[in-house]
Structure 1
Amino acid sequence: MLLRDLPTRALSVRAPWDFAILEMGKPVENRKRSHRFRGLVFIHTSSWWKESEVAEDRDFAEEVARRTLPDRWPADRHLPLSDLTPRLGRITGMVEVADCVAVSDSPWFFGPVGFTLRNPVIFKNPVQCKGALGFFPVPESIRAAVAQAEGFANA
């Protein structure tokens, strides 16, 4: 992948939902408002952290992952919260936003609207980045840092 092919926008997502998108097969990101954006975006893991809420959400995400992807997320697999904290405030992957829906059969959907997602890519070397609400523009310097960290071509 070339630097020019990397996303120019990011979507900030709270832990553990970023992890669920990139590694647990979560195909929808729930939001309060619809958006017309479609295409490739970076996933930015928000720096927000409230341990009790993250733990509760993690337990729910694991339950859904076990039902939907039992081979990838077996009953004995458990995500330690300590695995999530190094991701905070970083670009952790990318995904394609395919649509925005008000109704979905996905067990990950709890609305009122959801961005349907596909082709998640998790980054081995997350890059620090200040986030923002909604889809936000990613500075060229951050895009270049992601390309370098992940070994993408920079032409």
Structure 2
Amino acid sequence: MKALTIRQPWAGAIAHQSKRVENRSWKLPAAHHGARILIHAGAQPDRNAEVHGDHLDVRSAIVAVATITGCHWADTWDCCGPWAFDEVYHWTLADVTALPEPVPARGALGFWTVPDDVLAAVQQQLALERNNA
């Protein structure tokens, strides 16, 4: 399974708030359209961000799972709501599931393959969540 590293507070906003668009300077590769991915909170925060709330201080960990449902160039931000920026690609997200406990992992640029032990820890938490639902 692939992961995408996203700086905080954005990764936490995807996992625990209503952020369902990821702003990127590059177009989503076609192979990832419709893919289920892991959301990784990067080691470095976005110092320019002004988002507040719980779960936004986790670093270097998988915090959620999401499905990428689309990608489009946005001349304006208003097509995807308050989390969207203009003049970037909007990657739309759905079926976001926050992990009960962040799973420590070292990130990378772009899409990256999660080590087997990290994936096993994520899958264990997701299975427990399904069984408790």
Q: TM-score, normalised by structure 1?
A: 0.70
Q: Cα distance, 1:49 vs. partner?
A: 3.1
Determine which of 110, 113, 116 is the counterpart of 1:137: 113
- Name the structure 1 match of 2:62: 91
Q: Using the alignment, how far apart are the partners of 1:145 and 1:44 within structure 2?
A: 14
Q: Cα distance, 1:131 vs. partner?
A: 0.2
Q: Using the alignment, how far apart are the partners of 1:49 and 1:108 within structure 2?
A: 17
- Name the structure 1 match of 2:37: 41
Give 1 or 2: higher helix fraction: 1
Amino acid at match of 1:92: V
Q: Using the alignment, how far apart are the partners of 1:21 and 1:144 within structure 2?
A: 22
Determine which of 83, 96, 120 is the counterpart of 1:108: 83
Amino acid at match of 1:96: T
Structure 1 residue runs of 4+, over 2 Å off? none
**More relative contact order, 1 or 2 (CA 8 Å, 6+ apart):** 1
Amino acid at match of 1:41: I
Give 1 or 2: higher strand fraction: 2
Give the number of aligned pairs.
120
Structure 1: segments with no counterpart, 5+ residues: 1-7, 60-78
The change in CA–CA distance for 1:151 and 1:22 in structure 2 (over 3 A counts) is closer
SS of the residue 2:127 aligns to: coil
* Structure number, greater radius of gyration: 1
Q: TM-score, normalised by structure 2?
A: 0.80
SS of the residue 2:50 aligns to: helix
Q: Using the alignment, how far apart are the partners of 1:13 and 1:23 within structure 2?
A: 14
Q: Using the alignment, how far apart are the partners of 1:34 and 1:151 within structure 2?
A: 29
Residues 24-61 of structure 1: CA distance to partner in whole angstroms, max 9, x if unpaired? 211110000002212100000001036xx26x4315xx
Residues 1-155 of structure 1 aligned to structure 2 (within 5 Å): 8-36=1-29, 37-38=32-33, 39-49=35-45, 53=47, 56-58=49-51, 79=53, 83-85=55-57, 87-103=58-74, 105-106=79-80, 107-110=82-85, 111-148=87-124, 150=125, 152=127
Q: Cα distance, 1:151 vs. partner?
A: 5.5
The change in CA–CA distance for 1:151 and 1:30 in structure 2 (over 3 A counts) is closer
Q: Using the alignment, how far apart are the partners of 1:14 and 1:115 within structure 2?
A: 15
